[in-house]
Amino acid sequence: MGSEVFDVLGIAHPKGKELDFQLKGARLLSPDSTKEYVMTDPKQAGYLLNRLEFGQRLLADAIKEGVDFRDNVHVKAAIQENGFVTGVEISGVSGKKEVIKAKILIDASGFYSLIREHLKSILIENVIEPEDTILCYREVLRLKDTVAECPDYITIHLTQDLAPGGYIWYFPKGKDIVNIGLGGPQKKGEKVGDVIRKRYQENCLKRMIKGKYEIISSGAGVVPVRRPLWSLVDNGIMFVGDSACQVNPLHGGGIEASMRAGWIAASVAKKAIDANDVSTGSLWDYNVQYMRGQGAQFAALDILRIALQHFNDKDLNFGLKKDILSGKDILQIAYAGELKLNMLDALTRVFRIGLLDSMAHSDLLINLAYVHKLMTDIKHLYETFPAKEKMENFHLWKKQVEEIYKKIKRAF
Ligand SMILES: Cc1cc2nc3c(=O)[nH]c(=O)nc-3n(C[C@H](O)[C@H](O)[C@H](O)COP(=O)(O)OP(=O)(O)OC[C@H]3O[C@@H](n4cnc5c(N)ncnc54)[C@H](O)[C@@H]3O)c2cc1C
């Protein structure tokens, strides 16, 4: 994750055991591995966190602030009374059921959120479609007789052949430890065990790790890679993190994104409780602040994700080799969800590609121009997400967003 978020939240940057490694930047490899972009962001450093240590620090801080921490409980469902969420039903290790009442329930229970799945709401969708998710598998390896490649950079290999609709990642943590894995769209009925692990072993492990190694840890999971939930709030309830689909659709990173969202949610929740009003209207400002910022960026990246999953390796090799997009452009897209291209830029790129090549790949160029337009349109819509005073415009706004999705899905 980037370092900037720690300043935004005003919390200490990770160091010591919490910080596995500090990176210089990222490398993006073309499908045939002949072209690489090296991207460094002058505004922030790249941290490879020790997720357990970092989580323990946040937990300790929360307990110090007075949080009553209940471990080993299973949340079964939200309690809804008179149109408001008023708490949760839980069961402990003994299986004994209990009710916890709450002024506001903030659901941060990840992708498989039972609360979202069973909530009765006209604002919030219960189901996240498999086509909007990626199935990931990764192992952390200690290399025994080789050293990590380019240890100061994370490497992302875009390849439809080896990771259909997704990519392979190779994140070194120093010279002898690497986090290596792959992700791709989930198909109905596809199980982690049979497909993704086999693909990982054949397409990542065998090809990228030549010497002996020890597996330090392994893990698989599903990540939502789409626009955020239509609304992040309803009467008495808020959603944060994977349960709210607050993950960067392009690279599937959700840790930094959920920290930023959690920060906004907490400040809005506090204001609502202080005002003794936990209605949708009172919590709406979380929607407004999130959708107009990170939400706008992620919605635009979702449009790009849908398009990218349909490009073939030939087009991707061509696009990357001919510098249709520069490393700076890719950074701008990844961090801001937009690409500002003026007419002169566009013409310069056609000349750089050459007229014959441009004609041979005209479909790709036209598709890219269309994707660029839809990304700009959706970003604008999210940046003008209806304010609290105009909440009645929400359904119209939603319809306009749906129209853009219809267009991108028709095109790809
Ligand atoms: C293989 C893989 C690699 C990834 N790599 C990266 C990466 O390098 N960088 C990055 O930024 N992101 C990465 N992600 C995504 C990232 O892990 C998630 O976006 C992030 O963890 C979301 O945080 P969260 O708190 O919303 O949900 P989670 O981390 O999923 O936490 C939810 C918590 O709620 C608990 N819970 C769920 N249901 C219940 C229930 N009913 N009762 C009680 N507790 C419950 C769970 O046990 C869990 O502890 C990766 C994901 C996968 C699967």
pLDDT tens per residue, range 122-133: 999 999 998 899
Give 166-215 pLDDT, tens digit per residue. 899 999 988 999 999 998 887 666 666 667 888 899 999 999 999 999 99
* Ligand 1 atom closest to the CA of 171, numbered from 1: 8
Ligand 1, pocket-test mutation among 109, 116, 171, most atoms within 8 A of CB: 109
pLDDT at 22: 92
Nearest protein Cα to ligand 1, atom 29: 110
Ligand 1 pocket member 254 (CB < 6 A)? yes
Q: What is the structure's pLDDT at 32? A: 92
Of 324 and 4, the one with more pLDDT: 4
State which CATH number among 3.30.930.10, 3.30.499.10, 3.50.50.60, 3.40.50.1100 fits the domain covering 229-412: 3.50.50.60
pTM check: above 0.85: yes
Tell me which residue has its CA closest to atom 9 in ligand 1.
253
Q: For residue 279, what pLDDT is reported?
A: 98
Stretch 1-16: mean pLDDT: 94
Q: Is 219 in the pocket of ligand 1 (CB under 6 A)?
A: yes
Ligand 1 pocket check for 193: Cβ under 6 Å: no
Distance (Å) from CA 54 to ligand 1 centroid? 14
Ligand 1: residue whose CA is nearest its atom 7: 253
CA–centroid distance, 110 to ligand 1, in Å, is: 5
List 238's β-bridge partners, or say none: 106, 233
**Which residues in the chain are classed under CATH 3.50.50.60?**
229-412
Q: Which atom of ligand 1 is nearest to the CA of 181?
A: 1
Instruction: Write out the residue limits of the CATH 3.30.9.10 domain(s) in the chain.
Output: 4-56+130-224
Query: Quick one: angle between helices 362-383 and 296-308, nearest 10?
Result: 160
Residue-wise pLDDT for 234-292, tens only, equals 999 999 999 999 999 988 889 999 999 999 999 999 999 999 999 999 999 999 999 99
User: For ligand 1, atom 45, which residue shows the shortest CA distance?
Assistant: 109
pLDDT given for residue 58 in this prediction: 96
How far, in Å, from the CA of 256 to the mean position of ligand 1? 12
Q: Is 114 in the pocket of ligand 1 (CB under 6 A)?
A: yes
User: Residue with the nearest Cα to atom 50 of ligand 1?
Assistant: 253
pLDDT given for residue 356 in this prediction? 62
**Cα(255) to centroid of ligand 1, in Å?**
8
Write down the CATH number for the domain with range 4-56+130-224: 3.30.9.10
Q: For a substitution probing ligand 1, which of 44, 222, 223, 260 has the most ligand atoms within 8 Å of its CB?
A: 223
Distance CA 127, CA 224 (A): 11
